């Protein structure tokens, strides 16, 4: 019997999962003070550094979501209010920052 290593999902299911994750985050934020923050910086495939509208208390306090997926600590660097991602996000990618 053949085994598969993944599951097949359609784009609607991906959007539903992303919406669910955002609702969980919103609920968590209401209880703990976690909030979405605005940022500046072009998502153009070249720019990798984004400046947040406030300074997080450290990388462990910052939640970075790239295309709806939470990025692990170590996949980005933080200096003051500047976050650097590697590689640079491409046009059409979405970024969200919470702390």
Phi, psi of 60 (to 5 degrees): -70, -20
- DSSP, collapsed to helix, strand or coil, labels residue 68 as coil
pTM of the model: 0.68
End-to-end CA distance of the chain: 47
**Per-residue confidence band for 18, with pLDDT thresholds at 50, 70 and 90:** confident
Residue that is written with structure tokens 């969200």 in the block: 96
Checking if the pLDDT of 12 tops 80, the result is: no
- 93/20: higher pLDDT: 93
- 15/88: higher pLDDT: 88
* DSSP letter string, 36-64: EE-EE---SSS--EEEESS--S-GGG-EE
């Amino acid at each position: 019997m053949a085994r598969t290593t993944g599951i097949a999902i359609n784009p609607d299911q991906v959007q539903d999962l992303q919406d669910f994750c955002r609702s969980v985050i919103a609920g968590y934020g209401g209880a703990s003070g976690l909030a979405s923050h605005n940022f500046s910086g072009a998502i153009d495939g070249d720019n990798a550094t984004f400046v947040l509208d406030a300074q997080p208390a450290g990388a462990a306090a910052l939640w970075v979501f790239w295309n709806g997926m939470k990025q692990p600590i170590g996949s980005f660097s933080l200096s003051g209010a500047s976050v650097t991602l590697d590689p640079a996000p491409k046009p059409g990618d979405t970024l969200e920052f919470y702390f």
